[in-house]
Structure 1
Amino acid sequence: MKALVWHGKNDVRIDNVPDPTIQDAGDIILKISSTAICGSDLHLVDGMVPTMEEGDILGHEFMGEVVEAGSSVQKFKKGDRVVVPFTIACGHCEYCNDTLYSLCDNSNPKKELAKANLGQPTSAIFGYSHMMGGFDGGQAEYVRVPYADVGPIKVPESLTDDQSLFLSDIFPTGYMAAENANIQKGDTVAIWGCGPVGQFAIQSAWMLGAERVVAIDNVPERLNMAETHGRAETIRTTDRTDVYEKLMEMTNGKGPDCCIDAVGAEAHGDSMIGKVIDKTKEVLQVPMSRPYVLQQIMMSCKKAGTVSIPGVYVGMVNEVPFGAAMNKALTFKMGQTHVQRYLKPLLEKVEKGLIDPSFIITHRLKLDEAPEAYKTFKEKKDGCIKVVLTP
């Protein structure tokens, strides 16, 4: 089959690779109908995530048709159309029983790599390094899905792929981000990053009772989507933008009640010291997450406010004003998304017409065009916000 394969930093290619096979009685094999490029995939391409190996198949946002099922699979049969969570969970460990699926104890077969990098192993993730399990991703013609009775959900015929695909990651991620922000009725919510997760965090903030949503980014197309589709107030960042001052002006000096970091490791900023550190770490090839958004959030958030972090961080973070966070009594909630917890309720919102997730799509391409699509997405060319690939 054809698949998008990682060959090193800034080097992804379409290769012919062996078709996946059933390896466990709980597996299913999917024929991919739609798959997407996620912003966190760019961390892999940029070489920021350790334990990647040449030959790894990328992609953790995908859906498709069941073409084969293991002997113990109960929920699905050949021909079913399903969307798959990016996190892989066993369904019966302590964390899964508490619906903390991204912290699953059993799904990651490479626990020692995860412990070495994270302290404890977390759940496996499709197509996202060997410390996350080394599972092949779904930017391919076919994919093996383990623990099939725990993860995927059947998609009704009434919904298109475009409406369903983002249940795999970015819609639940944006929703959990808003939920983690502890939004109360009447709150002002500030969201850094108007990429796909940020756009769904905006939508979710309204669903959870926000009175105002302020979206912060430096890409005009993303800000336009946040304004027109998300009904958000916006701040466009430039080298001269003081985000803190803007937010103080907008909130009469109080600061936002809730702040969401939907940017993560590769934030841009104008701290000269930070840029020197970034360059040093790049030369030394040591993973180092950039602190600019966290700096702004810790200084801007109101006293006793809540900070939610869905943005992916790797390695270390320097120059974070932790004193501000401590002295202002900020609450932090973060983590990979417990997608399985949100699949059914968010699917119901789509079915009821409360949201059509397809609004995020700007580019539809064939799988063969994936390497070029990565470049377009990374460089934010042609108004690119979200790419969907079809084999």
Structure 2
Amino acid sequence: MRALTWHATKDVRVVDVPDATVAEPTDAVVRVTSTAICGSDLHLYDLFGPFLHRGDILGHETMGVVEAVGSEVRRVAVGDRVVVPFVISCGHCFMCARGLTTQCETTQNRDQGTGAQLYGYTELYGSVPGGQAEYLRVRRADANAQVVGRDLPDERYLFLSDILPTAWQGLRYTGVVPGGTLTVLGLGPVGQLVSRIARHHDVTVHAVDPVPERRLMAERHGAIVHDLDDDVASVIRDATEGRGPDGVVDAVGLEAHGNPATAFAQAAVGVLPDGLAKPLMMNAGVDRLAALDLAIDLVRRGGTVSVSGVYAGSLDPMPLMTVFDKQLTMRFGQCNVHHWLPELLPLAEDPSDPLGLEDLATHRVPLEQAPEMYEKFRDKEDGCIKVILKP
């Protein structure tokens, strides 16, 4: 089968790889009909090379049709159309029972000190082959393949694999209620959906991004948009009676604009030999914190900062005095996709498409064009906001 594979920093290729097969009785094999490039895939493209191996199959936003199932699979059948959460959980352990599927105690990567296994996401999370391929082996299929309808286009369902529940959780973690105010930092795919979900819940949204095309898309869906400049915090405070918003979602993460010295350090570590880079990244890693610093500064006293963007540093400086003085709540974490699917599936299937799921992808291309789309997405060229790959 054909699959998008990692070969080196900024070097991904579509090549022939062994076919995905049923290897365990709880597996299913899915013929991929749509898969997407996620913002967090760009971290693999640029930075996390020391934790990848040549030939690793990338991708964790996947849906398709079940082609084969193992002997112990009961809930999923051949021919079912399914979407696959990026998190691999068992569905019944202590953590899964509490909705914390990213901390699943059955698939937890204890040798790495990390949470549940993830598709297509480095040795830190199990080196599990991902879904930017013609076929995907779905582990623990009864718990991890969500059966969906047959009549709506893939785009109504594909984003349930990651970015839609990630956005939903991001807003929920802020605790902002209808009539409240929210600021969204970063208008990539997750930030776009956070803004739309908030507007769907009658929350006023101020959204910040330096890219005009991203601001225009968010404005089309009801957000008040702002360029990233020196005055943005003052402008938003002025619009919120001087207090700041009730909550802020950081949908940017470790590669925020700004912090040029940190950006240089990240790039330098990423090209070191693995034996040197791994301990540095695990024990002395730093992130670009411009977005998180802005979130902490901007949110009103007593408010909440919810972090959906990926951070990976171990020595990041935090303005704890400000956090303490402002009596802030801060919530972080990978998305517990399975926990949110029952709430989100009806919205995805609503004929009116209230979250505009069919108005998010800007580029739909064959899988063979994935390498050039990684570069275009990273560089924000050609108005690229979300890429869907079709095997």
Matched, 1:380 2:373: no
CA distance in 1, matches of 2:219, 2:256: 21
How does 1:281-320 map onto structure 2 within 5 Å? Answer: 281-285=266-270, 286=281, 287-316=285-314, 318-320=316-318
Letter in 1 for 2:320: F
What secondary structure does 1:54 align onto? coil
Find 1:160's aligned residue among 138, 153, 164.
Answer: 153
- How big is each residue's C-alpha offset from its partner over 1:274-313, in whole Å with a ceiling of 9 and x where there is no partner? 3223323432444432100111111111000011111111
**Structure 2 equivalent of residue 233 of structure 1:** 224
- How big is each residue's C-alpha offset from its partner over 1:325-353, in whole Å with a ceiling of 9 and x where there is no partner? 11111001121111111223211112223
Bigger drift between 367-376 and 156-165 goes to: 156-165
**Structure 2 equivalent of residue 263 of structure 1:** 252
Verify the 8 A CA contact 2:197 2:355 in the aligned structure 1: no
**Structure 1 equivalent of residue 236 of structure 2:** 247
Q: TM-score, normalised by structure 2?
A: 0.93
- How big is each residue's C-alpha offset from its partner over 1:147-186, in whole Å with a ceiling of 9 and x where there is no partner? 1111221111221112111111111111111111101222
Find 2:213's aligned residue among 193, 205, 221.
Answer: 221
What is the CA distance between 1:355 and its match in structure 2?
3.2
What is the CA distance between 1:264 and its match in structure 2?
0.6
- How big is each residue's C-alpha offset from its partner over 1:85-127, in whole Å with a ceiling of 9 and x where there is no partner? 011101111100111111111124x4212x1xxxxx3111100
* RMSD (Å) for aligned C-alpha atoms: 1.4
What is the CA distance between 1:244 and its match in structure 2?
2.1
**Structure 2 equivalent of residue 368 of structure 1:** 368
Verify the 8 A CA contact 2:195 2:218 in the aligned structure 1: yes
Letter in 1 for 2:66: V
CA distance in 1, matches of 2:267, 2:155: 37
Bigger drift between 72-81 and 27-36 goes to: 72-81
**Structure 2 equivalent of residue 100 of structure 1:** 100
What secondary structure does 1:40 align onto? helix
How does 1:40-51 map onto structure 2 within 5 Å? Answer: 40-48=40-48, 50-51=50-51
Find 2:191's aligned residue among 186, 190, 198.
Answer: 198
Verify the 8 A CA contact 2:5 2:13 in the aligned structure 1: yes
Displacement over 6 Å in runs of 4+: none
Task: Give % identity.
Answer: 41
CA distance in 2, matches of 1:281, 1:386: 25
CA distance in 1, matches of 2:269, 2:152: 48
What secondary structure does 1:106 align onto? coil
Letter in 1 for 2:316: N
Bigger drift between 54-63 and 157-166 goes to: 157-166
Structure 2 spans left out of the alignment, 5+ residues: 271-280
Bigger drift between 345-354 and 326-335 goes to: 345-354
CA distance in 2, matches of 1:49, 1:123: 20
What secondary structure does 1:167 align onto? helix
Letter in 2 for 1:153: Q
Q: 1:184 to 1:49 in 2, by over 3 A?
A: farther
